[in-house]
A and B are shown apart, each in its own frame.
Chain A
Amino acid sequence: GAVVSQHPSRVICKSGTSVKIECRSLDFQATTMFWYRQFPKKSLMLMATSNEGSKATYEQGVEKDKFLINHASLTLSTLTVTSAHPEDSSFYICSARSPGGQETQYFGPGTRLLVL
């Protein structure tokens, strides 16, 4: 149980285009999902908390207009990198919080974004 998927696993795009990454909880409903960014050889940096049916909460320093988050259902959150630039190239990982108060986050496999 507690499987989280991400799509796509890898994407290459041209500078200036927008890229959408999907995060799905496959076998449980997640009212809260989290989006992280991981730089090479670095730890995970929390970008934002995504709450179903409401606006996402962004961490300090994260541009909300650049990283659009939508949590339209209890099993799906999307992250759209708008007008992507090479510096946005990174490994993006989502997680979904388990229900029932155990406060465990289950992570997706990650999406490797390369902006040329």
Chain B
Amino acid sequence: AQSVTQLGSHVSVSEGALVLLRCNYSSSVPPYLFWYVQYPNQGLQLLLKYTTGATLVKGINGFEAEFKKSETSFHLTKPSAHMSDAAEYFCAVRGGGNKLVFGAGTILRVKS
């Protein structure tokens, strides 16, 4: 079975600082991994995904994530936080039946 653990339910950074949101996964098959962002009262927007190939994946809004099989991790980073990045971020792994298994989410707060 697949599972996702997001370390830190809340992360606070200053504007311009590095953003690091942690995600570890468990999967019995080669994983497909996703990061989604959710703004208040909205649905989820795909930030980036890893399926196969290059382990460093670039997404929208300057975010990127690196798949590290040895660490079973898929951490999300952004070099310089912007106020508009404040939102909730979900890491997900594809499970059986092509279902997505989500982590609990991390709320990112950006301080001015």
Contacting pair A93 B44 (CB below 8 A): yes
User: A44 and B102 in contact (CB under 8 A), knowing A6-B43, A104-B49, A109-B42?
Assistant: yes
The residue among B97, B100, B102 with the most chain A CB atoms within 10 A of its own CB is B100
Contacting pair A43 B98 (CB below 8 A): no
- Is B45 part of the binding interface, using a Cβ–Cβ cutoff of 8 Å? yes
Of chain B, the residue at the smallest CB distance from A4 is B43
- Give the number of A-B contacts (CB < 8 Å): 49
B86 → A minimal CB distance (Å): 15
A25 → B minimal CB distance (Å): 13
Interface residue tally for chain B (C-beta within 8 Å) = 21
- Is B72 part of the binding interface, using a Cβ–Cβ cutoff of 8 Å? no
List, in ascending order, chain B residues with CB within 8 A of A42's CB: 104-105
Interface size class of A (residues with CB under 8 A): 20 to 34
Could you tell me the distance between the alpha carbons of A97 and B46 in the complex, rounded to whole angstroms? Answer: 12
Of chain A, the residue at the smallest CB distance from B9 is A41
User: A43 and B103 in contact (CB under 8 A), knowing A49-B97, A107-B36?
Assistant: yes
List, in ascending order, chain A residues with CB within 8 A of B34's CB: 104
Give 17 pairs: A residue, B residue, CB < 8 Å, sorted on A. A4-B43, A34-B99, A42-B105, A43-B103, A43-B104, A44-B44, A44-B102, A93-B43, A95-B100, A102-B51, A103-B51, A103-B94, A104-B46, A105-B46, A107-B43, A108-B43, A112-B41
Give the top 8 A-B pairs by smallest Cβ distance, nearest first: A107-B44, A107-B43, A109-B43, A110-B43, A43-B102, A43-B104, A108-B43, A44-B102
A sample of 5 more A-B contacts (CB under 8 A), given A109-B42, A110-B42, is: A4-B43, A34-B99, A91-B41, A103-B98, A107-B43
